[in-house]
Amino acid sequence: MASKPDPATTIQRKYYTDTASRYDLMHAHEGGADASITKFMYALLRTQEVRTILDVGTATGTGMRDLKQALPDVFVCGVEPVAALVEQAVLNGNIASGPIIQATGEALPFADASFDAVSEFATLHHAANPTAVVKEMLRVARKAVFICDSNRFGQGSLPARLLKLALYKVGLWRVFNYLRTGGKGYVITEGDGLAYSYSVYDSLEPIALWADRVILIPTTGDLKSRSWFHPLLTSSGILVCALKD
């Protein structure tokens, strides 16, 4: 018997169910829709000679559609837990790019090394345990993993960024964030639904252990920064490209 979703997951899925018809318009600003960022990913996919790719948290399948348009010879598959978003993908015609399976990122229904590459766009900051999703992505990938998501350390004023980094380094960020969110651990906004404080750096350790090369590409902020802390303290979003030789 499947376990009952926790309250946060229930809130989150209701939000996506209620906004499914408006999802693409509401989230057009997120990293996966930015051609200036995805061009790096497409170039690396070609270099790695990728023939199959899985998109985790594919929502209405626009990321899959863009992947298929850029790489028409590649087999593209998506995973999405919210039924209303999968139904919207069908209405939008995006399943013409490839199948979408209703499943969660924490338990991908595929064998080890099933896909040449695995990607996610702006999904992990909605996951209560993002590193669990990342580990599943690494498990089913053979050649490459691409993570385009938020970076809390590059958000807010410079003092706020330094404070968050310091709290994280001394192991007090979880406590601070628990108090900051009134014990929930997440915030709810109309534009983004239920979201957690996340940085791609939170998941960098398993990525670095899996990959032979890791490339970090800033997606926002001062893209020409020469700071030693770039993109850690200068970009609110980062594309992580993890590659196996």
Within a domain: 146: yes
Within a domain: 78: yes
Lowest mean per-residue pLDDT among 25-29, 206-210, 223-227: 25-29
Within a domain: 106: yes
38 and 66 Cβ atoms separated by less than 8 Å: yes
Within a domain: 173: no
Q: Domain count of the chain?
A: 1
Place of tokens 């899996």: 210
Within a domain: 181: no
CATH code of the domain covering residue 91: 3.40.50.150
Alpha helices in the chain, H assignment, sequence order = 7-19, 23-26, 35-47, 62-70, 83-91, 130-140, 158-169, 173-180, 204-210
170-190 pLDDT tens trace: 999 999 999 999 999 999 998
Confidence of residue 24 (pLDDT cuts 50, 70, 90): confident
Beta strands 75-79 and 52-56: pairing type?
A: parallel
**What's the whole-model pTM score?**
0.93
